[in-house]
């Protein structure tokens, strides 16, 4: 992983919440190269960490403190021992569909976990120089669409009635790329609402104390190291396991749902840039591959990799899913000096090769 040219090695201490998860492990080695001390706070939730043990992917020199971010006592313990210069806030419940059924859990972890962190920093008089928040494209909901006359509008959440009729798109309009400078956030899932709340809470707090903020709205993250036991962390690993078993991958709606699949390596370099860049502005930044692919295209590439049957359209749908989502990444280049490096084909090959090498992995 390369460090953006606009950054410098700051040294000091970086505190990473949720740092034993998929993204945290992916950035841990690079953080060790850039900071003198890396401290990870993670609950090792069994939905992600079935064994309850420290993940081997986490850099050996990173200090792991197993505690719950939603508890005030956690921060009294951690901040008695740690004075962070930079905080990378990754800790969150991430399941879009699951958030509809477990709203309290998602709200508690994502919102209260954030406010407890901030209260702890204030209570112990240990304000960091910068906080980097891993946010989500889910804050946009369906985002903006453009009518034939060129005017933008916000269609809002698709209803059960329209979905039951198979009315997937909004007639007479085309979606546009998500851009934090132009696209108004309007989440259509509990998860998206909690991520937007995280952003708002952090910005209100940080501006009051002159703490720098870097808010990264991530698109669909996938790649080696992704949980193979958590059904709520993305479809790419699930598709690989289906194709591995010789199954035809089922496609929801009409298979033409657009997504911006971004490889974990690119996400890791974006977060590192957010932690190190000297040119931050404080406004949210979109992080994605810079282009969209349909779900059908991604599934077809995976099927071809495994020589599996072609994917098939089911017409099923999921409440809380948006129709199309992809990012305009120009601000990431301008502010952070960051651009994505991997194509979808490269990323799928890397993910599939990694899955194939895992012991005891089972086809789905």
End-to-end, the C-alpha distance of the chain in Å comes to: 32
- Give the span between the Cα atoms of 328 and 288, in whole angstroms: 8
Q: Which pair of structure tokens corresponds to residue 207?
A: 């501006």
Contacts of 11 (CB under 8 A, 6+ apart): 35, 36, 85
- pLDDT above 60 for 5: no
Per-residue pLDDT reduced to its tens digit, 155-188: 999 999 999 999 999 999 999 999 999 999 999 9
Work out the average pLDDT over 270-295.
95
pTM: 0.95
Confidence of residue 228 (pLDDT cuts 50, 70, 90): confident
Average pLDDT over the chain reads 94
Cα–Cα nearest to 238, from 218, 220, 256, 253: 220
* pLDDT given for residue 234 in this prediction: 75
pLDDT at residue number 3: 43
Position 7 confidence tier, pLDDT thresholds 50, 70, 90: very low
Partners of residue 221 on adjacent β-strands: 262
Instruction: Give the ranges where the chain is alpha helix by DSSP (H).
Output: 22-34, 72-81, 96-101, 103-107, 113-123, 160-164, 190-209, 236-244, 264-276, 295-306, 330-331, 344-356
What is the reported pLDDT for 6? Answer: 41
Domains plus CATH for the chain?
Answer: 13-356 (3.40.50.720)
Q: What's the chain's length in residues?
A: 364
The predicted structure's pLDDT at residue 97: 67
- Is 242 within 8 Å of 304 (Cβ atoms)? no
Q: Which of 78, 1, 65 is nearest to 33 (CA)?
A: 1
> Where in the sequence numbering do the catalytic residues fall?
191
**Cα separation of 111 and 228, whole Å?**
26
């Amino acid at each position: 992983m390369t460090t953006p040219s606009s950054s410098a090695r700051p040294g000091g201490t970086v505190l990473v919440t949720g740092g034993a998860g998929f993204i945290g492990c992916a950035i841990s080695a690079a953080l060790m190269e850039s900071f003198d001390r890396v401290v990870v706070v993670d609950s090792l939730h069994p939905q992600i960490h079935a064994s309850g043990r420290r993940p081997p992917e986490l850099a050996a020199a990173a200090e792991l403190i197993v505690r719950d971010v939603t508890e005030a006592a956690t921060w009294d313990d951690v901040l008695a021992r740690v004075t962070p210069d930079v905080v990378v806030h990754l800790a969150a419940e991430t399941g879009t569909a699951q958030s509809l059924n477990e709203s309290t859990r998602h709200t508690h972890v994502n919102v209260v976990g954030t406010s407890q962190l901030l209260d702890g920093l204030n209570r112990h008089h240990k304000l960091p120089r910068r906080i980097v928040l891993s946010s989500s494209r889910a804050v946009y909901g369906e985002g903006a669409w453009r009518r034939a006359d060129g005017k933008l509008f916000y269609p809002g959440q698709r209803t059960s009635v329209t979905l039951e009729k198979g009315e997937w798109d909004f007639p007479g309009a085309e979606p546009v790329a998500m851009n934090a400078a132009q696209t108004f956030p309007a989440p259509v899932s509990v998860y998206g609402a909690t991520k937007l709340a995280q952003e708002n809470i952090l910005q209100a707090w940080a501006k009051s104390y002159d703490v720098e903020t870097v808010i990264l709205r991530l698109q669909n993250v996938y790649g080696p190291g992704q949980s193979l036991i958590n059904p709520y962390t993305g479809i790419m690993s699930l598709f690989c396991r289906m194709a591995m078993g010789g199954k035809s991958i089922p496609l929801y709606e009409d298979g033409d749902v657009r997504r911006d699949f971004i490889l974990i390596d690119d996400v890791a370099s974006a977060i590192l840039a957010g932690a190190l860049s000297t040119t931050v502005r404080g406004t949210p930044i979109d992080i994605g591959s810079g282009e969209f692919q349909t779900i059908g295209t991604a599934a077809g590439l995976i099927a071809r990799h495994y020589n599996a049957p072609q994917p098939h359209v089911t017409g099923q749908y999921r409440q809380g899913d948006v129709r199309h989502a992809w990012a305009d990444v120009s601000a990431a280049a301008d502010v952070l000096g960051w651009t994505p490096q991997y194509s979808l084909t490269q990323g799928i090959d890397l993910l599939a090769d990694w899955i194939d090498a895992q012991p005891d992995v089972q086809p789905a």
